[in-house]
A = this chain, B = another copy of it.
Amino acid sequence: MQPVLINGQWRDSSGSDSFQAENPATCELLPDVYPVSSWEDCDAALEAAVQAAEALWQLPGTIVADFLEAYASRIEERAEELVEMAHLETALPKSPRLADIELPRTTGQLRQAAAAARNGSWSLPTIDTKTGIRSVYRSIGPVCVLGPNNFPFAFGSISGGDFAAAVAAGNPVIAKANSSHPGTTRLFAEEAQLAAEQTGLPAGTIQLLYRMPHADGERLVADPRIGATGYTGSRSAGLSLKAAADARGKPIYLELSSVNPIVMLPGALEERGAELAEEFTGSCLMGTGQFCTNPGLVILVDGEVTRTFVEAVTQGFQDAPVGTLLSRSVQTSLQSNLSILLEAGAQLLAGNTSVEEDRCCFANTLLQITGDQFVAAPETMQTEVFGNSSLLMVASSTEQVCEAIDQLEGNLTGCIYSHTGGEDDADYDRIAPRLRQRVGRLLNDKMPTGVAVSSAMNHGGPYPATGHPGFTAVGIPASLVRFSMLQSYDNVRSHRLPAILQDANPTGETWRLIDEQWSQAAVG
């Protein structure tokens, strides 16, 4: 049985249950056995995290930056083993996906977070010399991170965006591994702990539990000792955690399901329909469709060009190779969610068949409904089908497109493809303001699957896509600010202020809002 990481020590879990991950490419259990922690482990981790938070509070952000950079380098040194393990546990291709895309993204993100911790501008230091009041966003306390199954590196609970943001904001992290890739998470935790020791972080800064009973997970995110939680995963589990955290006033940032609607306007299809069919099919089936921002709902207006587009996409889905899914449970969910749509009257264009029995997979599946069907049952028709599948909605008119969009739940992204010469502009202008209110990121003429690590990114959106419409899981400063609290200092003696609020600019490069003007200068 693998040990858990608590208070800087790899030690036996107090739990007696265990689990093993499965290789989705063979449907065979992997050999390593991982513990299901009892509350005793959670409690010990919380205790250590509180101590670590107090110690971190006294340390400069440069130490956290040193840690994040050392950790990124250690990840690169162990890249081969990480890629091998993640491939075994998730069946994601080693190259380019894991080795050449996700791993560099992960280390790049850790280094961006390090730069933010070193510079401090993310914390929006604000100085009002007239009133003698100064404020800054500072660490919120121990952060629990629960990562998803689909990005074992870039969104991993001890390597991904939430982890990097929480640590860069000065908080210890209690990571809960995703049960589908515990081995990958363990390798990361080993390197994180070594980097923490190497750079002098307090013992309980980085901790790892693999799994715990649901009730203990809910107790964990609501514990008085927790500062906040970051969660990416299924809606049902996320909303249970949210209810528990909300009841105790504990912030929880959720990234939940999203169907990521795409509107393909007739002018765009007329202009470049074949190209768009190929672009959509590629984006939708990439990574076997297992992206948070996978385009799961395509909104079209009935007509000749739309019919041609639908035919091309159908052909594309039939011709494309069938990727392996992350786990048997992803496959089961995919099939049962497709059934919901089919039972509600969706027409099957391609797929919905088993393919091979000895790996986790299911045929690329394309469904179609009318606009009438959508507006008659909008909730059912927004069932997220996570995996290599999409639903095409063919509306009778732009009017009906608007009506359908007004029924959309909150989503991470929404796209509109339109004619480059402006032929769709009247439709665009009617549709865009409505779609804008329903999504975190609005795109033009581009698939949503790429999520750049950018200061302007919003990888979030209105509920239920996420738990709070003002924050993003990717992009600095907003992703860090989630894991902080606003702390104001009123008439506090100068030498007692945190360095970032004293008159001198602590780095010479930190941006501060001084008397309503952003400045890198010293005060006065």
Contact surface of A with B, Cβ cutoff 8 Å: 54, 57-58, 121, 126-128, 130-131, 133-135, 137, 140-141, 242-243, 246-251, 410, 413, 428, 432-433, 436-437, 440-446, 448, 452, 454-458, 460, 462-464, 467-472, 475, 478, 481-482, 484-493, 496, 511, 513, 516-518
| 3 tightest Cβ-Cβ pairs between the two chains A and B | A249-B463, A458-B488, A518-B518
B131 engages A490 (CB within 8 Å): no
Question: What residues on B are CB-neighbors of A478 within 8 Å?
Answer: 486
- Are A492's CB and B433's CB within 8 A? no
A455 in contact with B126 given A137-B470, A469-B485, A486-B478 (CB within 8 Å): yes
A469 near B251 (CB under 8 angstroms)? Answer: yes
In the complex, A454 Cα to B129 Cα: how many Å?
10
CA distance A437 to B518 in the complex (A): 27
Among the interface residues A250, A448, A475, which one has the most CB atoms of the partner chain B within 10 A? A475
Cα distance, A280 to B230, chains bound together (Å): 42
Q: Which residue of B lies closest to A129 (CB)?
A: B456
Q: Tell which of A428, A457, A464, A471 has the most Cβ of chain B within 10 Å.
A: A457
Q: Are B432 and A496 in contact (CB under 8 A)?
A: yes
Q: How far is the CB of A295 from chain B (nearest CB, A)?
A: 14
Q: Are A455 and B487 in contact (CB under 8 A)?
A: no
Indicate if the CB atoms of B487 and A444 lie closer than 8 Å: no
Q: Is the CB of B440 within 8 A of A486?
A: yes
Q: Is the CB of A140 within 8 A of B469?
A: yes
- Give the CA-CA distance A488 to B471 in the complex, in Å: 11
Given A455-B513, A456-B133, A442:B492 Cβ within 8 A: yes
Contacts of A493 in B (CB 8 A): 444
Bound: A242/B248 CA distance, A: 11
**A444 engages B496 (CB within 8 Å):** yes
> Contact: B441 with A488, CB < 8 Å?
yes
Q: How many copies does the complex hold?
A: 2
Shortest CB–CB separation between residue A409 and chain B, in angstroms?
Answer: 10
User: Considering the chains assembled together, what is the distance between the CA atoms of A484 and B468 in angstroms?
Assistant: 10
Question: Quick check: A243 and B247 within 8 Å, CB to CB?
Answer: yes
Tell me if A452 and B251 are in contact (CB < 8 A): no
A303 to B516, CA, bound (A): 45
CA distance A508 to B482 in the complex (A): 30
Q: Which residues of B contact A413 (CB under 8 A)?
A: 490
Select A460's contact among B437, B456, B467, B486, beta carbons within 8 Å: B486
Q: Please name all residues of chain B whose beta carbon is closer than 8 Å to the beta carbon of A133 when the two chains form the complex.
A: 441, 452, 454, 456-457
B471 with A249: CB separation less than 8 A: no
Q: Which residues of B contact A482 (CB under 8 A)?
A: 470
Q: How far is the CA of A511 from the CA of B58 in the complex (A)?
A: 32
Q: Could you tell me if B446 and A490 are in contact, using CB atoms closer than 8 angstroms?
A: yes
Chain B residues closer than 8 Å to A471, beta-carbon distance: 486
A to B CB contacts below 8 Å, 26 in the list? A58-B433, A128-B456, A130-B454, A131-B452, A133-B456, A134-B456, A135-B457, A135-B475, A249-B467, A251-B468, A251-B470, A440-B487, A441-B488, A442-B488, A442-B490, A443-B489, A443-B491, A443-B492, A444-B493, A444-B496, A445-B491, A448-B490, A455-B516, A469-B486, A511-B517, A511-B518
Q: Measured between alpha carbons, how far is A54 from B496 in the docked complex, in Å? A: 48
Determine whether the beta carbon of A472 is less than 8 Å from that of B486: yes
B488–A456 CB distance below 8 A: yes
Q: Which residues of B contact A445 (CB under 8 A)?
A: 491
CB-CB nearest in chain B for A467: B249
| B492 engages A444 (CB within 8 Å) | yes
| Min C-beta distance of A493 to chain B, whole Å | 6
Max chain B C-beta neighbours (<10 A), residue from A134, A250, A481, A491: A491
Which B residue sits closest to A138, measured CB to CB? Answer: B436
Q: A463–B246 Cα gap in the complex (Å)?
A: 11
* A170 to B518 CA separation, bound complex (whole angstroms): 23
**B residues less than 8 Å from A432 (CB atoms):** 496
**Candidate in A243, A464, A496 with the most chain B CB atoms within 10 angstroms:** A496
Query: Is B490 in contact with A443, judged by CB distance below 8 angstroms?
Result: yes
**Are A437 and B141 touching (Cβ within 8 A)?**
yes
Whether B492 lies near A456 (C-beta < 8 A) is: no
- Chain B CB count within 10 A is highest, among A410, A445, A485, A517, for A485
Select A126's contact among B456, B484, B489, beta carbons within 8 Å. B456
Do A488 and B457 form a contact, CB below 8 Å, given A54-B433, A433-B54, A496-B432?
A: yes
In this complex, the member of A127, A436, A470, A518 whose beta carbon has the largest number of chain B beta carbons within 10 angstroms is A470
B457–A485 CB distance below 8 A: no
Q: Closest residue to A436 on the B side, CB-wise?
A: B487
Q: Chain B residue with minimal CB distance to A249? A: B463
Among A456, A464, A518, the most chain B Cβ lie within 10 Å of the Cβ of A456
Cβ–Cβ contact A463 & B250, under 8 A: yes
Q: Determine the chain B residues whose CB is within 8 A of the CB of A490 once the complex forms.
A: 413, 441-444, 446, 448
